[in-house]
């Protein structure tokens, strides 16, 4: 049963293929146009390709090529459509009935390929060549679309205005009005964006200027602090040097007095020793007389002098100790700084 059905299907396919191959190029063209009108773009392209391979008639081939490019345009095969429409425009004269329609299609193909700069002159050529207001307004509409896509908003708005002012009956009239409103809105958005951008840049400049001034103030403060520290350091060192100088002078005086006191003490000690020896000799010779005789005043004076000299010596040593401490502290502070 399955084999019978398979055989029947093959027979039907062979019959259909035979019927198709038996069709004339004109019949194939009509069939392709029928598929085109039904929106079956890919099937239409395949059928119209067969027209090109089944005839040597140049006019028929060009006619099929025109409809192939149109079907590819609607199918979204823009690269193939551009190639076929350019081949068509090369093969037919500008007097051909479909020539400028192919020009219009080429402009649309370039638009869909985002080649706006290339599409604008193509649409202008079409607009200059045709006289029908509807067709002219369509060309201007697509020129406006290209300008809008390029961001040339003022030019796009002026182009759409041509349609609304010169061609109020055009099928593109409502679309042109909408585009004009859209352009106006876009211009406002751009102005707001530019204002926002300017405000942001101005804020950045203000922040940068504030930071720059803050750094300058910090550097100035550091410089002032350093200068003040140097001034204090110089003043402190000057005071220490002055005090050290005074202490050195006092130490020198104390050392001189100490040296003199030492000499005097030595002399006194020598005199005292001689006096004691003399007294011992006198006591030994005249014990009774020595016992009754009063003590010499020189011995008392000598003791007072000794005490004063010893106090002076102690004072000089104390001054020397203080000076050494100050010098040590001054040296320690200098190393820390």
Closest CA to 103 of 85, 120, 83, 115: 85
| CA 22 to chain CA mean position, Å | 72
Per-residue pLDDT tens, the chain, 337 aa: give them.
Answer: 433 444 444 544 444 444 444 578 889 999 999 999 999 999 999 999 999 888 888 889 999 999 999 999 999 999 999 999 999 999 999 889 999 999 999 999 999 999 999 999 999 999 999 999 999 999 999 999 999 999 999 999 999 999 999 999 999 999 999 999 999 998 888 788 888 787 777 677 777 777 777 788 778 878 877 877 777 666 766 676 777 777 777 777 767 776 776 676 677 667 667 766 776 666 566 554 444 544 444 444 466 766 777 777 777 777 777 777 776 776 666 555 5
Contacts with 42 (C-beta within 8 Å, 6 or more apart), sequence order: 71, 75
Contacts with 263 (C-beta within 8 Å, 6 or more apart), sequence order: none
How high is the pLDDT of residue 282?
63
Model confidence, pTM: 0.54
Contacts with 55 (C-beta within 8 Å, 6 or more apart), sequence order: 25, 61
Enter the tokens of residue 276. 């004691």
């Amino acid at each position: 049963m399955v084999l019978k059905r398979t055989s029947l299907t093959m027979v039907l396919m062979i019959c259909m293929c035979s019927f198709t191959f038996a069709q004339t190029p004109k019949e194939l063209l009509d069939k392709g146009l029928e598929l085109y009108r039904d929106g079956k773009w890919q099937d239409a392209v395949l059928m119209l390709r067969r027209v090109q391979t089944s005839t040597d008639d140049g006019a028929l081939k060009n006619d099929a090529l025109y409809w192939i490019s149109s079907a590819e345009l609607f199918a979204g095969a823009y690269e193939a459509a551009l190639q076929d429409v350019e081949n068509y425009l090369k093969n037919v004269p500008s007097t051909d009935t479909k020539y400028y329609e192919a020009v219009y299609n080429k402009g649309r193909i370039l638009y869909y390929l985002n080649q706006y700069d290339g599409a604008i002159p193509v649409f202008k050529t079409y607009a200059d060549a045709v006289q029908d207001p509807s067709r002219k307004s369509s060309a201007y509409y697509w020129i406006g679309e290209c300008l809008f896509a390029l961001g040339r908003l003022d030019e796009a708005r002026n182009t759409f205005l041509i349609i609304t002012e010169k061609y109020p009956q055009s099928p593109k009239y409502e679309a042109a009005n909408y585009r004009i409103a859209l352009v106006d809105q876009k211009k406002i958005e751009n102005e707001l964006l530019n204002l926002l951008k300017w405000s942001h840049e101005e804020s950045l400049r203000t922040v940068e200027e504030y930071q720059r001034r803050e750094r300058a103030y910090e550097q100035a403060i550091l410089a002032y602090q350093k200068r003040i520290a140097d001034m204090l350091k110089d003043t402190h060192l000057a005071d220490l040097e002055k005090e050290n100088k005074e202490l050195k002078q006092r130490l020198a005086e104390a050392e001189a007095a100490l040296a003199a006191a030492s000499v005097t003490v030595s002399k006194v000690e020598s005199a005292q020793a001689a006096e004691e020896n003399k007294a011992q000799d006198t006591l030994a010779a005249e014990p009774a007389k020595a016992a009754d005789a009063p003590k010499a005043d020189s011995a008392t004076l000598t003791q007072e002098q000794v005490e004063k000299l010893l106090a002076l010596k102690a004072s000089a040593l104390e001054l020397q100790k203080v000076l050494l401490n100050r010098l040590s502290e001054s040296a320690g502070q200098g190393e820390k700084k």
